[in-house]
Amino acid sequence: MPWRRLLKEYAIYAAIMGVVLLLLFRDRGVVPLLAGLLVAAPLYLLLGYVLAKFGYQRKTLAELRTPQARASSASASTPAGGGRPERPRPAPTRRTASVPNRRPSNQRKRRR
């Protein structure tokens, strides 16, 4: 469990929100604002723990900056042909089966 990472992210969030809330709500006092940020810490850690148990792992900024990540995102967004990126063909179904499986056009459709 990446507890250090979760705590670091929350500390950054709490610092930024503390400054913003102090600027917006100066008249109401500092104690309720800081108490709210401290109460939110266990909730944030609990949510992060549950998401990690389900396999969620957000990429770090260092992982997003790697050349491989940039190359894969660039190739997916701008294909060599120019237009939309190529998609694999969907699996054939009864309606989209190949020509030999189709009913000859001179036969009538059966009713069920």
Number of domains, the chain: 1
Tell me if 20 is assigned to some domain: yes
State how far Cα 97 lies from the chain centre.
Answer: 35
pLDDT in tens, 68-98: 655 655 555 555 555 667 888 888 888 776 6
Within a 13 Å sphere around the CA of 49, how many CA atoms are in the beta-carbon half? 8
Calculate what percentage of the chain has a pLDDT beyond 90.
5
| Interatomic CA distance for residues 55 and 49, integer angstroms | 10
Residue 71's domain spans which residues?
A: 3-75
Q: Which of 34, 56, 41, 40 is nearest to 7 (CA)?
A: 41
Query: What average pLDDT does the structure give for the chain?
Result: 78
Residue 16: the pLDDT is 93
Residue type, 6: L
Tell me if 106 is assigned to some domain: no
Tell me if 50 is assigned to some domain: yes
pLDDT in tens, 45-70: 899 889 888 888 877 778 878 876 55
